[in-house]
Chain A
Amino acid sequence: MTEHTKYLVVGSSHAALEAVTAIRMHDAEGSLTLLTRDPHLPYSPTVLPYVVSGRFAPDGIFLRDEKFFARLGVQLKRGTALKALHAERNAAELADGSEIAYEKILLATGASPAIPPIPGLDQVSYHVLRTLDDATKLNAAIKNSKQAVVLGAGLVGMHAAENLVKAGAKVTIVEMAKQLTDGYFDAIAAGLIEKAFTDNGATILTGSRVVKLAPSAVGAMLTLENGTTLEADLLLVATGVRPNMDYLAGSAVEHDRGILVSDSMQTSVPNVWSAGDCAQAKGFFTDDKVMNAILPDATEQGRIAGMAMAGDPGLKQYPGGVPLNTYHFFGRHAISVGSSRVPEGGEMVTRFDEASGRYLKAIFSADNRLTGIYGVNEFFDGGVMCQLILRRIDLSPVKQRFLAEPMKVGREIMSKTWR
């Protein structure tokens, strides 16, 4: 007999958990099933670097326990993947061959590491970092590594590289782009990050492409575009992510780079919603649908989807994704909120104190709304800045003060809007 559930939530990470909470806020009774291919209790991919470093035991990072799901009347099915979605008959086909009939389904299946098509990569053994099992394996490998190579200098690669450096390995980071953390931070900020890494003994090869890989005595031999070779006893591939949506093959659910969703996270097909790293929703700065694969957005989208599925009248439409990143490296902090693009007629202001390494960059629209703010060692409240952007608060009267003391003036404005 086919199992039947009112709400089927696929995935057990940030987007899915928020949706479950939102559904239960409005519908305490309706049957709810949470399906995840991961064998573990819910955890966040974001803390995995700390499993890799050994700071946390693998069982010390769970976000919820069985009791939580029991209390909310949620049936948790772990270690079972969604294999195919048959939206035309409201059914989900699972990897074990069984089917679940749903009334409403949320696809919150997140993303997996994207593996670049480099010749020979399939011949060597390499690590990725997205699941707890990945982290456990990497944690074991890191202890024995003497010479490690990290492919990709995004935040995942940089986090892992720092772990490797601290564990005592000789680390080389290879990045195709001209700078580190491209897309997150600008060249000056990247320079500060690079310096922290090189000061701690890492080698950084930006603007470099690996063209070939082959097995070698210690592990893998990498050949770069310019002909140089590198040997690695540990290879981590961290060249970005791609959404998990293979199960859509043959379904009518529209997808592009991710699953296309409306401002209430509904897909092109009735009774199907999507949220988080697998969804492609409106951007805040553009009406085009964008990928904004960050944790805060996954929770926001998950909540909206849950409210929409449960028919909660309190639902507010998605305002569009605002990029937000916090990055903690060797005891320092970098924060970026908003877009790095200077809007037409807008203005970009930077302040950089080389001695202290304090860096601030703020971007305003023509009508003096904040559209982006970046800082390294310059602390301001990311949440406050995000609200200034989302609420399009006119900063004309305070702009100079804001630039001098963004933290203080931001707090002042938000305190005023609250009262």
Chain B
Amino acid sequence: MANFGGAYNTIAFDANKCDGCGDCMTACATAKVGVGDTARSRIQIVGSADDGFELALCRQCADPKCVTVCPAAALTKNYASGVIDWNGDKCVDCLLCTVGCAYAGIALDAGTGHVAKCDTCDGAPACVPACPHDALTYVTTSRIYNEVGDWEDLFAPGLAGCQGCNTELLMRHTLRRVGPETVLATPPGCVPGMGSVGFNGTTGTKIPVFHPLLTNTAAMLAGIKRQYKRVGREVNALAIAGDGGASDVGFQSLSGAAERNEQILFMVVDNEGYMNTGMQRSSCTPYGAWTSTTPIGKGSGGMPAQGKTQDAKNLPLIMVNHRCEYVATASTAYMEDLYDKLDRAIQASKRGFAYLHVYSPCTTGWRFPTDQNMEVARKAVETNFVMLWEYNRTDGLRFTRPVDDPLPVTEYLKAMGRFRHLSPDQISHIQAKVVENLAFVKQMAHRQSA
């Protein structure tokens, strides 16, 4: 049944931002029936006196009950757009569909005597831009899945990563996007550990992959890229390295390649430590975090051990100071943003050095349940613990997903075990650091764009 597997755009509602102004309903009614009568809008905001606003809107279900109970075949799931289409020529006004829907997504329009429902205005919903508070968004991420789903997966079908590992997602998406005309460098770390360099004499990728030393990844890759250029073959030179390999011992060759503006794309999978070898600290490990080399316990000399005592190095900002062709931070919880950046990084790597820093939660090393990866990644952004931005020499630095109203950092910290021991003082230190980092990046964004 070829009907499954597609992803669709959808209208999302953030109840916290809604103040019940009703502008979306006016816009909908105006677009659909030519008058601003909110009762006739297909999106209905209902206020509960005490606690905010709720929504009645067609969810465009994948397995729609309204369609199954319609006796007239007037409702059909459109597998191209995802929308449930209503055909007024067939409808007999029996209202059975309204009995089928649990969310009042299809209801009687007293003005016409027929049922009415949201059709997403053919992909440009009138309600969304009408909302003055950004409570409504039209989520178009599906575009990525539909497009990417058809591309070849260039990573091994089976792999040795931990269950729930974010890096697998990143590998599969990134390799799909860069495509088969690519040479991949994966220095020691989780990426080769989970299988990119292969097993039993075969590679774990369907593209050439090599395993440089931790110290010389950027140098080796730059040399290979130059050789390809010399023989006149266009390839993407891609490194996928861990934060340890990039920010610690590998930094010298990374910095050198950036300074020489080598035409490579260097992606860092930042899981904030040497997770592959037993969860040791790296210079990207954040303050207060437990690792096997920043333990929790009695400590010595009367100083209890409370996790890492230094703040993390901000590697992507250091890369900005190399004035690279392109530098960006990204997160798998924001795929659309990640893809935009991948596209720009690939383009930039044809001209010079492109650097992409992906914040990548680690279920094993950070101590959170395997199904919580996206939640942890999202919380990091929602609290401003990490920030999503991009930089190029012409436009400077700009936030791609500014968080206007950040959650307290504790919302992030409490999502995992490596921060469980934190004292109130340590938490204040981290919260202060978040504020300071934000101010710093904001200042850069401001300065660069001025």
Which A positions have Cβ atoms within 8 angstroms of B? 14, 18, 21, 24-25, 28, 44-47, 49-50, 55, 60-63, 71-72, 295-296, 299, 303, 324, 326, 328, 331, 333, 335, 337, 379, 381-384, 386-387, 401, 407-412, 414-416, 418-419
- Given A72-B1, A379-B108, A324 and B113 contact (CB-CB distance below 8 Å): no
Q: List the A side residues contacting B47 at CB < 8 Å.
A: 412
Say yes or no: B72 contacts A383, CB within 8 Å: no
- Given A28-B1, A411-B44, A333 and B68 contact (CB-CB distance below 8 Å): no
Q: List the A side residues contacting B93 at CB < 8 Å.
A: 328
Smallest CB gap from A328: residue in B: B93
Among the listed B15, B46, B48, B107, which residue makes an inter-chain contact with A419, where contact means beta carbons less than 8 Å apart?
A: B15
7 pairs from A and B in contact (CB 8 Å cutoff): A25-B1, A44-B71, A47-B71, A61-B72, A381-B104, A384-B102, A412-B48
Say yes or no: A411 contacts B54, CB within 8 Å: yes
Say yes or no: A47 contacts B104, CB within 8 Å: no
Say yes or no: A55 contacts B92, CB within 8 Å: yes
Q: List the B side residues contacting A337 at CB < 8 Å.
A: 99
Q: Total number of A-B contacts with CB less than 8 angstroms? A: 112
Say yes or no: A418 contacts B103, CB within 8 Å: yes
Size of the chain B interface, CB-CB below 8 angstroms: 34
- Find residues 1-18 in chain B having any chain A CB closer than 8 Å to their own CB: 1, 15
Smallest CB gap from A45: residue in B: B71
B101 within 8 A of A: yes
B73 within 8 A of A: yes
Smallest CB gap from A297: residue in B: B69
B165 within 8 A of A: no
Q: List the A side residues contacting B69 at CB < 8 Å.
A: 14, 295-296, 299
Contact with A along B39-73 (1 / 0, CB 8 A): 00000101111000011100100000100110111
Say yes or no: A415 contacts B46, CB within 8 Å: yes
B312 within 8 A of A: no
B212 within 8 A of A: no
Q: Please report the C-alpha to C-alpha distance between residue A163 and residue B237 in the assembled complex, in whole angstroms.
A: 74
Taking A44-B72, A46-B72, A63-B71 as known contacts, 7 extra A-B pairs with beta carbons closer than 8 A to each other, sorted by chain A number, are A50-B72, A299-B65, A303-B68, A326-B94, A411-B103, A414-B103, A418-B103
Say yes or no: A324 contacts B104, CB within 8 Å: no
Say yes or no: A412 contacts B99, CB within 8 Å: no
Say yes or no: A333 contacts B108, CB within 8 Å: yes
Say yes or no: B92 contacts A50, CB within 8 Å: yes
Q: Please report the C-alpha to C-alpha distance between residue A61 and residue B153 in the assembled complex, in whole angstroms.
A: 45
Q: Please report the C-alpha to C-alpha distance between residue A337 and residue B72 in the assembled complex, in whole angstroms.
A: 21
Say yes or no: B104 contacts A295, CB within 8 Å: no
Among the listed B1, B46, B68, B73, which residue makes an inter-chain contact with A412, where contact means beta carbons less than 8 Å apart?
A: B46
B124 within 8 A of A: no
A309 to chain B, nearest CB (A): 17
Q: Please report the C-alpha to C-alpha distance between residue A245 and residue B107 in the assembled complex, in whole angstroms.
A: 37
Q: Please report the C-alpha to C-alpha distance between residue A382 and residue B65 in the assembled complex, in whole angstroms.
A: 13
- Given A72-B1, A412-B54, A63 and B98 contact (CB-CB distance below 8 Å): no
Say yes or no: B100 contacts A335, CB within 8 Å: no
A334 to chain B, nearest CB (A): 10
Q: Please report the C-alpha to C-alpha distance between residue A63 and residue B73 in the assembled complex, in whole angstroms.
A: 5
B130 within 8 A of A: no
Say yes or no: B102 contacts A18, CB within 8 Å: no
Q: Please report the C-alpha to C-alpha distance between residue A401 and residue B95 in the assembled complex, in whole angstroms.
A: 25
Among the listed A49, A379, A412, which residue makes an inter-chain contact with B110, where contact means beta carbons less than 8 Å apart?
A: A379
A82 to chain B, nearest CB (A): 24
Say yes or no: A382 contacts B95, CB within 8 Å: yes
Say yes or no: A408 contacts B99, CB within 8 Å: no
Say yes or no: A381 contacts B92, CB within 8 Å: no
Q: List the B side residues contacting A379 at CB < 8 Å.
A: 107-108, 110
Say yes or no: A381 contacts B107, CB within 8 Å: yes
Q: List the B side residues contacting A62 at CB < 8 Å.
A: 73
Q: Which of A14, A414, A416 has the most CB of B within 10 A?
A: A414
Say yes or no: B68 contacts A335, CB within 8 Å: no
A168 to chain B, nearest CB (A): 21
- Given A28-B1, A72-B1, A412-B46, A47 and B55 contact (CB-CB distance below 8 Å): no
- Given A55-B92, A299-B68, A419-B15, A410 and B104 contact (CB-CB distance below 8 Å): yes
Say yes or no: B94 contacts A46, CB within 8 Å: yes
Say yes or no: A333 contacts B95, CB within 8 Å: yes
Say yes or no: A47 contacts B92, CB within 8 Å: yes
Say yes or no: A384 contacts B103, CB within 8 Å: yes
- Given A324-B99, A328-B94, A383 and B15 contact (CB-CB distance below 8 Å): no
Q: List the A side residues contacting B56 at CB < 8 Å.
A: 381, 411, 414-415
Q: Please report the C-alpha to C-alpha distance between residue A324 and residue B94 in the assembled complex, in whole angstroms.
A: 12
Smallest CB gap from B47: residue in A: A412
- Given A55-B92, A72-B1, A331-B113, A411 and B99 contact (CB-CB distance below 8 Å): no
Q: Please report the C-alpha to C-alpha distance between residue A11 and residue B96 in the assembled complex, in whole angstroms.
A: 21
Say yes or no: B55 contacts A415, CB within 8 Å: yes
Q: List the A side residues contacting B59 at CB < 8 Å.
A: 418
Q: Please report the C-alpha to C-alpha distance between residue A72 and residue B2 in the assembled complex, in whole angstroms.
A: 10
Among the listed B46, B55, B104, B113, which residue makes an inter-chain contact with A383, where contact means beta carbons less than 8 Å apart?
A: B104
Say yes or no: A414 contacts B99, CB within 8 Å: no
Among the listed A71, A383, A407, A419, which residue makes an inter-chain contact with B101, where contact means beta carbons less than 8 Å apart?
A: A383
Q: Please report the C-alpha to C-alpha distance between residue A28 and residue B68 in the assembled complex, in whole angstroms.
A: 20
A298 to chain B, nearest CB (A): 9
Q: List the B side residues contacting A61 at CB < 8 Å.
A: 72-73
8 nearest A-B pairs in the assembled complex, by CB-CB distance: A44-B71, A415-B54, A382-B99, A46-B71, A326-B95, A381-B104, A411-B56, A383-B101
Q: Please report the C-alpha to C-alpha distance between residue A416 and residue B110 in the assembled complex, in whole angstroms.
A: 26
Q: List the B side residues contacting A55 at CB < 8 Å.
A: 92
Smallest CB gap from B97: residue in A: A383
Q: Please report the C-alpha to C-alpha distance between residue A299 and residue B59 in the assembled complex, in whole angstroms.
A: 20
B431 to chain A, nearest CB (A): 28
- Given A411-B104, A412-B48, A383 and B94 contact (CB-CB distance below 8 Å): no
Smallest CB gap from A42: residue in B: B73
Q: Please report the C-alpha to C-alpha distance between residue A62 and residue B76 in the assembled complex, in whole angstroms.
A: 13
Q: Please report the C-alpha to C-alpha distance between residue A46 and residue B91 in the assembled complex, in whole angstroms.
A: 12
Q: Please report the C-alpha to C-alpha distance between residue A379 and residue B56 in the assembled complex, in whole angstroms.
A: 15
Q: List the B side residues contacting A326 at CB < 8 Å.
A: 94-96, 98-99
- Find residues 77-106 in chain B having any chain A CB closer than 8 Å to their own CB: 90, 92-96, 98-104
Q: Please report the C-alpha to C-alpha distance between residue A298 and residue B47 in the assembled complex, in whole angstroms.
A: 35
Q: Please report the C-alpha to C-alpha distance between residue A418 and residue B69 in the assembled complex, in whole angstroms.
A: 21
A166 to chain B, nearest CB (A): 14
Q: List the B side residues contacting A303 at CB < 8 Å.
A: 68
Smallest CB gap from A43: residue in B: B71
Q: List the A side residues contacting B113 at CB < 8 Å.
A: 331
B424 to chain A, nearest CB (A): 32
Q: Please report the C-alpha to C-alpha distance between residue A21 and residue B48 in the assembled complex, in whole angstroms.
A: 39
- Given A63-B73, A296-B69, A411-B56, A383 and B100 contact (CB-CB distance below 8 Å): yes
Q: List the B side residues contacting A407 at CB < 8 Å.
A: 104
Q: List the B side residues contacting A296 at CB < 8 Å.
A: 69, 96, 99-100
B84 to chain A, nearest CB (A): 14
Q: Please report the C-alpha to C-alpha distance between residue A387 and residue B98 in the assembled complex, in whole angstroms.
A: 12
Q: List the B side residues contacting A408 at CB < 8 Å.
A: 46
B48 to chain A, nearest CB (A): 5
- Find residues 98-139 in chain B having any chain A CB closer than 8 Å to their own CB: 98-104, 107-108, 110, 113
Q: List the A side residues contacting B44 at CB < 8 Å.
A: 411
Q: Please report the C-alpha to C-alpha distance between residue A349 and residue B103 in the assembled complex, in whole angstroms.
A: 24
Q: List the B side residues contacting A295 at CB < 8 Å.
A: 69, 71, 96
Q: Please report the C-alpha to C-alpha distance between residue A370 and residue B76 in the assembled complex, in whole angstroms.
A: 31
Q: List the A side residues contacting B65 at CB < 8 Å.
A: 299, 383
Say yes or no: B103 contacts A415, CB within 8 Å: yes
Q: List the B side residues contacting A14 at CB < 8 Å.
A: 68-69, 71
